[in-house]
Amino acid sequence: MKAVVIGGGIIGLCSAWYLNQTGWDVIITDKTDLSDSCSYGNLGMIVPSHFVPLAAPGIVGQGIRWMFNSKSPFYVKPELSPKLFSWGLRFIRSANARHVAESAKPLLEMNLLSKLLYEELAGKFDFFMESKGILMYFKNEAVAEEEFHLAEKARAMGLDAVYLNKESVQLLEPGIQLDVLGAVHYKSDAHLYPNALMKGLIQQLKAKGVQFLKNHALQTINRKKNRITEIIAGGKSLQADLFVMASGSWLPETLKLAGLNIPIMPGKGYSFTIEQPVQKLQIPAILCEARVAITPMNNKMRYGGTMELGTVQNKVNLNRVRGIVESVPNYFPDLKLDMPNEKDIWYGFRPCSPDGLPYIGFSSSVDNLLVAGGHAMMGLSLGPATGKLIAELANGNSTSVNLTAFDPNRFS
């Protein structure tokens, strides 16, 4: 049986991995040369701790307040776009306590499965995976209380989450001066070096016979009744039994070629990497109030954050990066960063669904099309689980995780 995967980000590569493992002949086609995508410059965190989706109570009001601050970590670009408007309405409708409660279990199950699968993959090639957890740092009382309650919820769901005061966190980071009230240590989490992961996966897949078509953008999808008979990518005709759409933030335009309408809004984020840092954190950090993340990876330190929701735009907004740079010494007074050169700033587009949950499953109107995307800020973490689930669906097997919450047809 033959499968074509459209998009070679972490979701496409992992789908190819598990399809290949279960006997499928796989071709991956991508519009780029596969040297960069959202899956490369991210913060590399594997996050069972993140069982709250982006669409959660409080985020809408906070987002509106932040829209007037050019250095803020969350921003919706005001645009006269019907797509943004309808995405925004769905987002607002989803940002409620019931949705958060219903999403927690499926998100946690997916993340825990993915972490296990990453541990398996780490036995095959090295991508600098370390299982030290992550530290969620807070500076103000209100956030400390929120984080305390979240940690209690995490513990009730079986996660090892420890609420630490400043002195206890200092023991975990003895080399760094702290200016915080405390942190929650989510010991279940892990981290890796995404660039090594992506490069290694491509090498391994090639060695297993998976074919790559670089610089072959999907142009046309031909259907006969409810089946795709052929796609044209980079001028090349490709026929297969199964097609997997894993085109990240470009899912809406690629799915439209098959007559489908699945909402995604790109959420642009920035990162920069210090190659030989003088001071290094031992454990990845999330600075709660600033919404900045820092990950020590492969002897480097990567700093990142911000979420600019709006259409894809290839311009660096230096003010947002300045927001990241300036927030770090508020938590770690010794870690004074210089503003990186513009050429050293990476950005990527998180594929954000309006309810903050991924799309994993068969399209209801095209029989041989699987949709895999919309993982927003957790795509790296959820990659292997998504790939495994895609292969289980392709093979007609029961799935390791209940996929009801991730139905790709839920907005149609």
Ligand X SMILES: Cc1cc2nc3c(=O)[nH]c(=O)nc-3n(C[C@H](O)[C@H](O)[C@H](O)COP(=O)(O)OP(=O)(O)OC[C@H]3O[C@@H](n4cnc5c(N)ncnc54)[C@H](O)[C@@H]3O)c2cc1C
Count the residues of the shown chain that bind ligand X, applying the rule CB under 6 A.
42
Window 111-170: residues binding ligand X (CB under 6 A): none
State the minimum distance, in angstroms, from the CB of residue 176 to ligand X.
Answer: 20
Candidate residues 106, 379, 384, 408; the one interacting with ligand X per rule CB under 6 A: 379
Task: Verify binding: residue 39, ligand X, rule CB under 6 A.
Answer: yes
Decide if 377 contacts 110 (C-beta within 8 A).
Answer: no
In the complex with ligand X, the residue whose CB is nearer, 170 or 326, is 326
State the minimum distance, in angstroms, from the CB of residue 165 to ligand X.
Answer: 26
Q: Which two tokens stand for residue 349?
A: 């587009």
Could you write out the three-class secondary structure of 263-319?
A: CCEEEEEEEEEECCCCCCCCCCEEECCCCEEEEEECCEEEEEEEEEECCCCCCCCHH
Listed ranges 68-76, 90-98, 248-256, 388-396: which one lies at the site for ligand X (CB under 6 A): 248-256
Candidate residues 20, 37, 195, 353; the one interacting with ligand X per rule CB under 6 A: 37
Measure the CA–CA gap between 73 and 291, rounded to whole angstroms.
Answer: 6
Measure the CA–CA gap between 63 and 66, rounded to whole angstroms.
Answer: 5
Task: Verify binding: residue 378, ligand X, rule CB under 6 A.
Answer: yes
Q: Which two tokens stand for residue 98?
A: 């019931």
Task: Verify binding: residue 3, ligand X, rule CB under 6 A.
Answer: no
For residue 129, is it left (φ>0), alpha (ψ between -120 and 50) or beta? beta
In the complex with ligand X, the residue whose CB is nearer, 133 or 248, is 248
Site string for ligand X, 183-212 (x = CB under 6 A): ------------------------------
State the minimum distance, in angstroms, from the CB of residue 311 to ligand X.
Answer: 14
CA atoms within 13 A on the CB side of 255: 29
State the minimum distance, in angstroms, from the CB of residue 145 to ligand X.
Answer: 25
Candidate residues 26, 45, 294, 370; the one interacting with ligand X per rule CB under 6 A: 45
Q: Which two tokens stand for residue 328?
A: 């770090």
In the complex with ligand X, the residue whose CB is nearer, 152 or 213, is 213
What is the per-residue burial (b if ≥16 Cβ within 10 Å, else e) of 78-114? eeeeeebeebbebbeebbeeebbebbbebbbbbbbbb
Residue where the block lists tokens 């913060």: 43
Measure the CA–CA gap between 410 and 399, rounded to whole angstroms.
Answer: 18
Candidate residues 182, 263, 348, 408; the one interacting with ligand X per rule CB under 6 A: 348
Candidate residues 27, 44, 106, 238; the one interacting with ligand X per rule CB under 6 A: 44
Measure the CA–CA gap between 250 and 254, rounded to whole angstroms.
Answer: 6
State the minimum distance, in angstroms, from the CB of residue 285 to ligand X.
Answer: 12
Residue where the block lists tokens 């959660």: 56
Task: Verify binding: residue 7, ligand X, rule CB under 6 A.
Answer: yes
Window 262-321: residues binding ligand X (CB under 6 A): 269-271, 304
> Contact residues for ligand X (CB under 6 A)?
6-12, 29-32, 37-39, 42-45, 47, 217-218, 246-250, 254, 269-271, 304, 348, 350-351, 373, 375-381
